[in-house]
Structure 1
Amino acid sequence: MSRGGHAKSREDGPERKCIATGEAQPKTGLIRFVVGPEGQVVPDLTGKLPGRGIYVAAQKEALEKASKKGLFSRAAKQPVTVPEDLVNVVEQMLSRRVVDLISLARKSGDAVAGYEKVKDWLSKEVARVLIQAEDGSSRGKSKLSTPYGGTYIGWLTADELGMAFGRQSVIHAALGAGGLAPRVVEEAQRLKGVRVGTSDTDRAGRGQRKG
């Protein structure tokens, strides 16, 4: 998969309709919301909270539209309270989820960090996912290439990657095939839509690919 391209999920699964775009798509590309007991809209990233699900595409623009146009109340058929900073709330939750998944992959030996270790995994074709901090040096990032047929994630910060590896900051990381890699890619794609927005997709892949 090319940098910035949409990764195919593990299982597209059943489709749901986005209340903002009106389009039906697999749940993996949507954010599920439920209405809490006090009438508040609550993001349900795992899809496990009780209640009727309300779905919005994992896109900054779709979330903003749903929040500002009263679409949650219409979908819930009742007045609801929506956080004023809904996009930021969802972005932070998704970021935390991606960081936690990478951390779990690290603990199981399926993730490495640091230029030399990542370079080694890439040369041995162990890495299937290349992750580079969006605020890292473009020159440094251009020295590593996305694995052939693999995936590139370039919209996490150095601090976020650092949290995943128990360090202050990380610029380069890689995931091996299998394990939690598909889930990391899936959740990272949702984060990309919310963080970057569809109008600036190139930002997600600023590192230059060699070859």
Structure 2
Amino acid sequence: MAERMCIVTREVRDEAQLLRFVRGPNGEVVPDLARKLPGRGVWVSLNSKILAEAVRKKAFARGFHAETSVSPDLPDIVARLLRQQALSLISLAKKAGEATAGFMKVEEMLGRGRAAILLHAAEASADGCRKLDKLLQPGVKRLTLFHSHDLDLAFGRSNVIHAAVAKGGLAEKLLVAARRIEMFEGQTGPEGPEETE
């Protein structure tokens, strides 16, 4: 990936560690998570505090060299969009038969060595998490980024506490999306969450 400069920190980083924004037709700042929207883009480090600083210091107007309107809650909007992006990947994996939910089904997927990602809802009980964590094989990522109601929407059913995503392309994309959420929220650095050993 190409390297770009953050308009706030002036650090040159890989595009994967940055957020791209474009200027809409009415002069408003538009997040471009997929990095595909037309027009001149400006880049901000993938961190909510740095994005809030960009809003506060009017860095977008300087970056676009034009009068630009910025929503004061832009960091919250981006956080929501990053989570929606990851949840849509979980939903796609479920529709493709590459994701499952429910303790028994997750336990089975982990036991067969098919899982790439183990998802626990943020409010999952420590006992249930511990039982499934014992089945983790090396290289399987454990994520607790989402609440049960978020996972409910992704799976199209209620009360999803534990889920797993099988190895494959969608799991890899989900890991990238999860890493971006963690970086944005300040939970981890660019290298991402630790794998199980």
Q: Distance in 2 between matches of 1:152 and 1:24?
A: 30
Between the aligned partners of 1:15 and 1:176, the Cα distance in structure 2 is 31
Aligned ranges 1:188-203 → 2 under 5 Å: 188-194=178-184, 197-198=185-186
1:89 positional shift: 0.6
Q: Of 73, 88, 101, which residue of structure 2 is paired with 1:85?
A: 73
Q: Describe the shift of the 1:76–1:132 C-alpha distance in structure 2 as closer, same or farther (beyond 3 A).
A: same
How far apart are residue 104 of structure 1 and its match?
Answer: 0.6
Which residue of 2 is the match for residue 53 of structure 1?
41
Between the aligned partners of 2:101 and 2:149, the Cα distance in structure 1 is: 13
- Give the secondary structure class of the aligned counterpart of 1:143: helix
Shift of 1:129: 1.0
Residue 161 (1) aligns with residue 147 (2): no
Aligned to 2:85: 97
Distance 1:20 1:153 in 2: 30
Look up the match of 1:73: 61
Q: Please tell me whether the aligned partners of residues 101 and 184 of structure 1 are also in contact (alpha carbons under 8 angstroms).
A: yes
**Residue 173 of structure 1 aligns to which amino acid in structure 2?**
A
Q: Does 1:14 align with 2:2?
A: yes
Give the aligned partner of residue 3 of structure 1: none
Alpha-carbon spacing, 1:66–1:151, altered in 2? closer, same or farther (3 Å): same
- 1:110-151 Cα offsets, whole Å, 9 max, x none, are 111111111111111110111111122233222222441122
> How many angstroms apart in 1 are the aligned matches of 2:146 and 2:4?
27
Please tell me whether the aligned partners of residues 20 and 44 of structure 2 are also in contact (alpha carbons under 8 angstroms): yes
What is the match of residue 10 of structure 1? none
Q: Which moved more, 1:15-24 or 1:62-71?
A: 15-24
SS of 2:164 mapped into structure 1: strand
Query: 1:128, 1:147 within 8 Å by CA — same for their partners in 2?
Result: no
Cα shift at 1:210: 9.2
CA distance in 2, matches of 1:143, 1:210: 15
The two structures have a TM-score, normalised by structure 2, of 0.88
- Cα RMSD, aligned residues only: 2.1
Q: Report whether the alignment pairs 1:175 with 2:165.
A: yes
Which residue is equivalent to 2:31? 43
TM-score by length of 1: 0.83
2:159 and 2:50 map into 1 onto residues whose CA distance is 31
CA distance in 1, matches of 2:77, 2:196: 36
Q: Alignment identity in percent?
A: 38
Which whole-Å deviations, capped at 9, do the CAs of 1:9-52 have from their partners, x for residues lacking one? xxxx2222222232222222221100011110000111111111
Contact 1:18 1:24 in 2 (8 A): yes
CA distance 1:153–1:24, shift in 2 (3 Å) = farther
1:168 and 1:132 map into 2 onto residues whose CA distance is 14
